[in-house]
A and B are shown apart, each in its own frame.
Chain A
Amino acid sequence: MTRATWLPLACGVLLALVAFPPLLRLGFATLSPAALAAVATPIARAALVHSVAMGVVSTVLAAVLGTFFAVLLALTDMPGRRIVAFLFLLLLIVPPQITAQAWLVFVGPASPLLGPLGLAPRSGSEPLYGPGGVAFLLAVEQAPIVYLALRASLAAIPADIVEAAQAAGAGRARQILLVLELARPGLLGGLSLSFVAAIGNFGTPALLAIPGRYPMLTTLIYQRLTGFGIGSIGEAAALALMLALLALAGASVEALLLRRVATQAGRQVRIALGAWRRPAFALACVLLALLLAAPLAALGLTSLLPALGVAPRWATLELGNFRSVLDAGATRRALLDSLVLSLGAGVVLAALLIAVCHAARRGRAARTLLAALEIPYVVPGLVLAIGCILVFLRPVAGVALYNTLGIIFAAYLARFPALARRPLAAAMAALDPALEEAAASAGAGPLPRFVTVILPLALPAAVSAATLVFLAAFNELTVSALLWSAGHETLGVGVFNLEQAGEATRAAALSVVAVAATVALMLAAGTALRGRRLLPWQA
């Protein structure tokens, strides 16, 4: 009807320019025979097998946990659903390196929680090192992914079906099974997303698989590049390509399935639990206490100790770690850098995507672009980082980004459009075209219409988009692990480097700060966007 204006075109071109060159460059990386030979080594083969194995095992476990919570939260009348949903999503939002760090101090021989109870394992054993610990923690982190995918599917099932089943004499369990059967595409989509997240995860294997001598693809890429320097970029690129293909294969399953999920308005299914309401809530609380509260409490206690392994007593608790973390140049800089980078990426991406999402209602090109922007998010962060190194190692158009914060910012802009797109696309879909038509008939051109009608209505969705990008970028490690340089660290790198430097208690303090900041932001965004259902924790 209206021709595309320059605004969505310019925004789209900009997005495409930052998002695609790294992956294209990696795809066309001249894979030398030496690099390909490196991929065929026994250790690379072992890493591939291990990554796939961890992906499958953790996904099965995540499916059980995620389905349980999805049923409770989306199908039943369990009390406290809002708070349970919020806490359950924290399992996903707390970054993997912090989760792994918390679990290591929670169940390790020096556990400040289990030790005083006499439950800590004996010295010389760390139950989480190796494949068992990796699979378990990956499952805990991915369960909310399964939950989110399943919840979307469950919400689309009309209540009539359950009522009909009920009328036919089906009990509660039969009703739940029936609904789950109908939501199977959502579950399968969640499984494939969980698998993709597992093989791309770096924080968990970095802390559990490296010390457990269990090579995986992400850790091998990291070890090669940091151990042998930039000269091994060819080998790292070959490994990264292998990882990318694996992720795309996993994600294509989801893409095929998602097409069949129809969204549907109308009454949602709500199964009354009756006498089981309280026991169900109690079980959810016990699970959250074990999976979330206890490890974070152990991390919090550790942050108050002078050194790992010191028994926590009133006399030994101190705030020194917090003081030194907030005073030290490097950690304070890392906090600030991450704040600026993630806020900047959130605002820029939300701004660029408003116009593109609006154009996507009518334009095929914009829709194609939005679909393609999913790829840099599906591909593991480490892979994207290798692509960015390949593109920016030498100055591009006279601008040298390598070894600056700029390369991390470019990587964030490439990685996170997919996150910013979701709330904006939903908001645009819900927009009544009559508003624009009215403005058009009053003689307003495309740009004034966009500025005066669309922008104000899209603002809450834009805030939500920026928040989602911010939350993902603020704590991320997989992209910046390869892109940081001295003086240009991120918060994720700061925590990881402190941990690597043997400063485990200061790393714990920085992690506590990071988690507190994240939760505060989630609550603030939730309050600002109250009642709009634009954020995943506002179900």
Chain B
Amino acid sequence: MRSLTTLLLLLAVPLVSARAGELTLYTSQPNRIAAETVAAFEKADPGVHVSVFRSGTTQVMNKLNAEFMAGAPRADVLLIADAMSMQALKQQGRLLADPQQDVSGFAQGTYDPGRTYFGTKLITTGIMYNKKAPFVPHSWNDLLKPAARGQVVLPSPLYSGAAMITLGAFTENPALGPDYFKKLAANKAISVAGNGGVLNQVESGARDFGIVVDFMALNAEAKGAPVGFVFPREGVTAVTEPVAILKTTKNPKDARAFVSFLLSPAGQELAAKQGFIPARKGVAPPPGFPPAEKIKLMTMDIPRILKDSTRLKQEFADLFGG
């Protein structure tokens, strides 16, 4: 049996060497940003060529799952919006662990303790307010005040990965408690599909407060919209756009190099240039954003959130109607 394996491995060697220098990346990054990321890596590591398949996270996962079923996943590296999909892949045994990967500059919770996937940036969820609002909130509990009644708009976890992680993290947070979303609903908060809908409503002044991802609010403020963004004192949640290597890769060497590049200071500076907070401490964030070390991240137990996600979504749909 063992000799058979060896024989197969030997036979596979020419295949591996034929693939050296070729990487296939599946990503949910927007076109322009994905192209920048790949160009920067190819410049840092000449001799490697990366082909990209880009689509929404759901479509990327659909394609990948179809390829798993057919037994021939084509992707070597995966770079998608949220850790929950990565965690699901990890539990199916699809991801390659990389214990050597250096995570010293990264906060716990941004990477998988089993070192299969690594967060590349912090897209935090905090509170956005219209400058005409009666008060500026500093705590998540401020949104439960009578003055915020009917004035809070939030994204739905049925559509938004960031909203799902926020919902899951809040239910375990001692300062907020499992009933936080029930109280929000009782205070007549409104759920819209995605973060964009939240931005529209607070920007236009239709509602005073919104629960939303940082860059949307901060970019709007920078363009002159009458809004502001706060990182509440209990802390914020974050999606981390993790990167991972598939176990079935035929080019683990270059795949590792790609992951290392994204986590390196150079890769992290690129993330900052693209308008995101780098996950790595000590790398300067984009103007107007706080650095990673200043951000208080809530505990986000991704495996548990993944396990409870269907129940949490259903409860949320019952509370907010979809």
Residues of A within 8 A of B (CB): 43, 104-105, 108-110, 122-126, 129, 210-213, 215, 219-220, 223-224, 226-229, 306-310, 316, 329, 485-487, 499-504
| A309 contacts B195, C-beta separation under 8 Å | no
Q: How far is the CB of A299 from chain B (nearest CB, A)?
A: 13
Residue from B31, B153, B192, B223 having most chain A Cβ neighbours under 10 A? B223
| B203 contacts A124, C-beta separation under 8 Å | no
| B158 contacts A223, C-beta separation under 8 Å | yes
Contact A309:B205 (CB < 8 A) given known A227-B156, A228-B158, A502-B195: yes
Contacts of B230 in A (CB 8 A): none
Known: A109-B204, A210-B193, A219-B322. 7 other contacts (CB 8 A): A126-B204, A215-B321, A220-B322, A223-B193, A227-B158, A308-B203, A499-B200
Contacts of B90 in A (CB 8 A): none
Q: How far is the CB of B76 from chain A (nearest CB, A)?
A: 21
13 A-B pairs within 8 Å (CB atoms) are namely A108-B206, A109-B132, A122-B132, A124-B205, A211-B197, A213-B320, A219-B322, A224-B322, A308-B220, A309-B130, A309-B203, A309-B204, A310-B225
Q: How far is the CB of B130 from chain A (nearest CB, A)?
A: 6
Contact A211:B204 (CB < 8 A) given known A307-B225, A309-B225: no
Contacts of B151 in A (CB 8 A): 124
| B204 contacts A108, C-beta separation under 8 Å | yes
Contacts of A110 in B (CB 8 A): 203-205
| A211 contacts B190, C-beta separation under 8 Å | yes
Q: Digit string of B187-205 for contact with A (CB within 8 Å is 1, else 0)?
A: 0001111111111110111
| B196 contacts A503, C-beta separation under 8 Å | yes
Q: How large is the interface on B (under 10, 10 to 19, 20 to 34, 35 or more residues)?
A: 35 or more
Which residues of B, 142-162, contact A by the 8 Å Cβ criterion? 150-151, 153, 156, 158-159
| Cβ-closest chain A residue relative to B31 | A329
Interface status of B317 (Cβ within 8 A of chain A) = yes
What's the A-B contact tally at a CB cutoff of 8 Å?
Answer: 125
Interface status of B226 (Cβ within 8 A of chain A) = yes
| B153 contacts A123, C-beta separation under 8 Å | no
Contacts of B322 in A (CB 8 A): 210, 215, 219-220, 223-224, 227
| A309 contacts B194, C-beta separation under 8 Å | no
Q: How far is the CB of A489 from chain B (nearest CB, A)?
A: 11
| A124 contacts B133, C-beta separation under 8 Å | yes
| B203 contacts A307, C-beta separation under 8 Å | yes
Residue from A125, A307, A486, A504 having most chain B Cβ neighbours under 10 A? A307
Q: Say which residue of B56, B133, B196, B223 sits within 8 Å of A500 (CB atoms).
A: B196
Interface status of B55 (Cβ within 8 A of chain A) = yes
When chains A and B are docked, how far (Å) is the Cα of A110 from the Cα of B193? 21
When chains A and B are docked, how far (Å) is the Cα of A226 from the Cα of B130? 29
Contacts of A105 in B (CB 8 A): 204
| Cβ-closest chain A residue relative to B156 | A227
Q: Digit string of B166-209 for contact with A (CB within 8 Å is 1, else 0)?
A: 00000000000000000000000011111111111101111110
**Main SS at interface, chain A:** loop
Residues of B within 8 A of A (CB): 31, 55-56, 58-59, 130, 132-133, 150-151, 153, 156, 158-159, 190-201, 203-208, 216, 220, 223-227, 313, 317, 320-322
Contact A504:B200 (CB < 8 A) given known A109-B205, A211-B190, A213-B190: yes
| B198 contacts A104, C-beta separation under 8 Å | no
| Cβ-closest chain B residue relative to A507 | B200
| B205 contacts A123, C-beta separation under 8 Å | yes
10 closest Cβ pairs, A-B complex: A502-B196, A109-B205, A227-B158, A502-B199, A126-B206, A123-B132, A307-B225, A308-B203, A501-B196, A223-B322
When chains A and B are docked, how far (Å) is the Cα of A109 from the Cα of B322? 26
| A487 contacts B158, C-beta separation under 8 Å | no
Q: How far is the CB of A227 from chain B (nearest CB, A)?
A: 3
| Cβ-closest chain B residue relative to A503 | B196
Residue from B190, B192, B200, B225 having most chain A Cβ neighbours under 10 A? B200
| A124 contacts B317, C-beta separation under 8 Å | no
Contact A211:B192 (CB < 8 A) given known A108-B206, A307-B220, A308-B204: yes
Q: How far is the CB of A99 from chain B (nearest CB, A)?
A: 16
Residue from B151, B208, B320, B322 having most chain A Cβ neighbours under 10 A? B322
| B224 contacts A306, C-beta separation under 8 Å | yes
When chains A and B are docked, how far (Å) is the Cα of A334 from the Cα of B293? 41
When chains A and B are docked, how far (Å) is the Cα of A228 from the Cα of B59? 14
Q: Say which residue of B198, B207, B225 sits within 8 Å of A308 (CB atoms).
A: B225
